[in-house]
Amino acid sequence: MRSPAVASVDGLLNLATAWEAIADEVGDQPALAAGGRRTSWAEFEDRAARLATTLSSHGLRPGSRVALFLFNGTAYPESQFAAFKVRGVPANVNYRYTGDELAYILQNADAEAIVYHHTLEDRIAGVRGSCPDLKLAIRVGGEPSEAPDWAVDYEMALSAEPMPRIERSGSDLWFLYTGGTTGLPKAVMWDHTNLLGTMEATFRPYRTPVPSTPAEAADTARRIADAGTEVRQLCAAPLMHGTSGIPGLATLSHGGMLATLASRNFDADELWQVVADERITMVTMVGDAFGRPMVEALDRAVAGGRTHDLSSLRLLLSSGVMFSAPVKEALLAHHPCTIVDALGSSEGTGMANQITSGSSRKAGRKETTARFGLGPHTKVFTEDGREVGAGSGERGRIALGWPLPVGYHKDPVKTAETFPLVAGRRWSIPGDWATVEADGTITLLGRGSACINTGGEKVFPEEVEEALKELADVTDCNVVGIDDDRWGQAVTAVVELAPDSVVDEAALREALRGPLAGYKVPKRIVFVDRLQRSPNGKSDYRWAKQFVVDALA
């Protein structure tokens, strides 16, 4: 019999301590699901405790960073839980990183341990020598006999005795590395107290506040389980990104279940099958990059006389990129759930959202892709610190007042820029620009760092991309600024056409002259067979820009 969850050293709840209490209370409930196998809460906690012993025995202590170089699967949440147990700091690592990119993350994080998938082993082997802090490498999957002498097999690491429960702190950290789309990736440092704060909206439907003690966490999980209203989240987007990672922390803090797909590349047919098999209630996804293939899979099923049981599905949660109104409408035509298009970033969640549902569709309400309702802790400020008035037409930057991360790891200058004091209060201002409409909603313009300056006018790529995606001939696109002698930067689009489309560049440009001002219409459009995106579906603007430069050379 394990000892009960231990109170914290500072009176603030730690996620590991909350999850221990939940495991004690609802141990028979499912916590994880992958490949047709479920892991109960009791088993989840036990495996994490055993892995924590291995971490501790290799010298990891409070504050030690544990890099997670993993695809989606049960090893990800288990390793994260284990790191929390020793008061370590999990740090996400993009599984596409190689060579210098990977070495940079491990060095920047001062990683003392790494949990990695065996298919990524050559990359680890190539950078180990440049990561002097690395004490432990744990290999997930593959044949144990094939593990190199510098790595420990994952299941062997779990053969240790469970680590005794300890006091922890709400000030312990979780690292979330940004995608580095406009520079080197930066680790956003979240403490557990503010991570719990990000869950405020997810606990509201249960008419209960976010737990502040282990007993409250256990009691809430029990009530949810008894009512049969637990969250079962399918992580379509990678857990290494905030889109699935942050909601995943909330799902576990409800005593819910995290499910993952087996396929490395997104497979919409598999997604709908897992929704049916695991009685999924929520899918975390990334806009049109996931939504379009999801619609296509449902269309194929209907055309083939097959149907998926979607009766359990209550919510599609998207964040990170554009989720166009036509794709939302197509999904709702198949299943009348609720779609939440959340505006947030690694530096702050819950800034704004757009909610679309079957009822709004029946009422004939037309959604605008870039229109969002502000969150309760969000404002829009001009660059000189004035709050943008509703209907004023002024542009401003979206600012979140709570909850807030500690800042960026090893980057005090960027921390001061992104988390400034405005009117005597600290805010998170990652750089998204918007206008405030007369009704108090906002129209998202885009990220300032991606803004194109063409002939003295500012053009936000997202606005042009939205207009392009409204066209039936366009499947996907990116818009970038290319150096130009006349314009300074020329608005340029990279477009993936719909199958069988024969439209040309001139026709697309002409079609954009209605919804867009002339200076926003791309000067050039370059076609590509398939647009490249990052694993979480976000735009890869560096790739798009290089593709255009090469294509026009």
CATH number at residue 530: 3.30.300.30
Q: Specify whether 402 is located in the same domain as 510.
A: no
Q: Is the dihedral of CA 515, 520, 524, 529 positive or negative?
A: negative
- Give domain status of residue 525, yes or no: yes
Q: Specify whether 414 is located in the same domain as 480.
A: no
Q: Specify whether 441 is located in the same domain as 473.
A: no
Q: Is the dihedral of CA 117, 278, 340, 405 positive or negative?
A: negative
Beta bridge partners of 354: 341
Q: Specify whether 437 is located in the same domain as 474.
A: no
224, 281 Cβ separation under 8 angstroms:
no
Q: Rounded to 5 degrees, what angle do the CA atoms 14, 16, 18 make? A: 70
Residue 87, domain CATH:
3.40.50.980
Q: Is 545 exposed, middle or buried (0-12, 13-18, 19+ CB in 10 A)?
A: middle
- Give domain status of residue 547, yes or no: yes
* Cβ contacts of 128 within 8 Å, gap of 6 or more: 134, 137, 150
Q: What pLDDT does 189 receive?
A: 99
Q: Specify whether 414 is located in the same domain as 482.
A: no
List % helix, strand, coil for the chain (3-state, nearest 5): 35, 25, 40
Q: What pLDDT does 89 receive?
A: 99
Q: Specify whether 60 is located in the same domain as 172.
A: yes
Query: Of the candidates 145, 173, 192, which is a domain's last residue?
Result: 192
Q: Specify whether 188 is located in the same domain as 50.
A: yes
**pLDDT tens, residue by residue, 473-523:** 999 999 999 998 888 899 999 999 999 999 999 999 999 998 898 999 999
Q: Is the dihedral of CA 72, 76, 78, 81 positive or negative?
A: negative
Q: What pLDDT does 423 receive?
A: 87
The two structure tokens encoding residue 59: 């010298």
Beta bridge partners of 371: 443
Q: Is 214 exposed, middle or buried (0-12, 13-18, 19+ CB in 10 A)?
A: buried
Query: Of the candidates 387, 422, 448, which is a domain's last residue?
Result: 448
Residue with tokens 């829009």: 380
Q: What pLDDT does 524 receive?
A: 96
Distance of alpha carbon 493 from alpha carbon 526, whole angstroms = 6
Q: Specify whether 442 is located in the same domain as 462.
A: no
Q: Specify whether 91 is located in the same domain as 152.
A: yes
Q: What pLDDT does 517 receive?
A: 85
Per-residue pLDDT of the chain (553 residues; tens, 9 = 90+): 577 877 677 889 999 999 999 999 999 999 999 999 999 999 999 999 999 999 999 999 999 999 999 999 999 999 999 999 999 999 999 998 989 999 999 999 999 999 999 999 999 999 999 999 999 999 999 999 999 999 999 999 999 999 999 999 999 999 999 976 556 899 999 999 999 999 999 999 999 999 999 999 999 999 999 999 999 999 999 999 999 999 999 999 999 999 999 999 899 999 999 999 999 999 999 998 899 999 999 999 999 999 999 999 999 999 977 788 899 999 999 999 999 999 999 999 999 999 999 766 555 666 677 899 999 999 999 999 999 999 999 999 999 999 999 999 999 999 999 999 998 999 999 999 999 999 999 999 888 778 898 887 888 898 899 999 999 999 999 999 999 888 889 999 999 999 999 999 999 999 999 889 899 999 999 999 999 988 778 888 989 999 999 999 8
- Give domain status of residue 66, yes or no: yes
Determine the straight-line distance between the first and last CA of the chain, rounded to whole angstroms: 69
Cβ count near 126 (within 10 Å)? 14
Distance of alpha carbon 291 from alpha carbon 285, whole angstroms = 8
* Cβ contacts of 324 within 8 Å, gap of 6 or more: 287, 288, 291, 369, 466, 469, 470
The structural domain count of the chain equals 3
Beta bridge partners of 175: 91, 189
Query: Of the candidates 132, 163, 192, which is a domain's last residue?
Result: 192
Q: Specify whether 114 is located in the same domain as 89.
A: yes
- Give domain status of residue 212, yes or no: no
Instruction: Give alpha helix (H) positions in 110-233.
Output: 121-127, 154-157, 192-197, 200-203, 214-227
Q: Specify whether 419 is located in the same domain as 495.
A: no
* Cβ contacts of 204 within 8 Å, gap of 6 or more: none
- Give domain status of residue 508, yes or no: yes
Task: Give the residue numbers spanning the domain of 391.
Answer: 370-448
The two structure tokens encoding residue 290: 């996931």
CA distances, 426 to each of 200, 304, 376, 423 (Å): 19, 55, 16, 8
Give the start-end residues of each E strand in 294-440: 315-319, 338-345, 348-357, 371-374, 378-381, 395-400, 407-408, 421-422, 425-426, 432-436
The two structure tokens encoding residue 143: 């044949």
Distance of alpha carbon 258 from alpha carbon 248, whole angstroms = 7
For residue 442, give the 3-state DSSP assignment: strand
Q: Specify whether 407 is located in the same domain as 472.
A: no
**pLDDT tens, residue by residue, 89-103:** 999 999 989 899 999
| Side-chain half-sphere exposure of 42, counting CA atoms within 13 A | 8
Residue 382, domain CATH:
2.30.38.10
